[in-house]
């Protein structure tokens, strides 16, 4: 997927209704998880990404600063994100507990 053609989300679009469910891709464009929760607001917000698993089973939830992900919309208007971290690096982060 060529993310350079996708439109970055504006700061005011970084909210739960836009981000929850968004797929997250690693630097090699592998789908490594999806956003399950959104906490806070603005530049200090956090997203919880369920990493790995299959159909939501066995996934590990990790919390990331919203600024560590690049959220964008594709040509169809679907929101997704890219991260510089690999799936293995994300899995090494502490598990997020509610």
Taking only the tens of pLDDT, the chain with its 98 residues reads 788 889 999 988 999 999 999 999 999 999 999 999 999 877 779 999 999 877 657 889 999 999 999 999 999 999 999 999 999 999 999 999 86
Domain extent, residue 24, equals: 3-91
How far apart, in whole angstroms, are the C-alpha atoms of residue 79 and residue 86? Answer: 20
Would 98 be classed as within a structural domain? no
Would 33 be classed as within a structural domain? yes
Would 96 be classed as within a structural domain? no
Would 45 be classed as within a structural domain? yes
pLDDT at 55: 64
| Residues 6 or more apart in contact with residue 84 via CB below 8 angstroms | 27, 68
* Residues β-bridged to residue 70: 82
- pTM for this structure? 0.90
């Amino acid at each position: 997927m060529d993310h350079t053609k996708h439109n970055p989300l504006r700061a005011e679009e970084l909210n739960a209704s836009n981000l929850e469910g968004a797929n997250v891709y690693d630097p090699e464009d592998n789908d490594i998880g999806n956003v399950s929760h959104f906490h806070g607001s603005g530049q200090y917000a956090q997203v919880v990404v369920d990493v790995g698993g299959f159909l939501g089973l066995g996934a590990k939830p990790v919390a990331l600063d919203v600024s560590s992900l690049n959220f964008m919309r594709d040509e169809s208007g679907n929101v997704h994100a890219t991260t510089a971290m690999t799936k293995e690096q994300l899995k090494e982060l502490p598990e997020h507990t509610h």
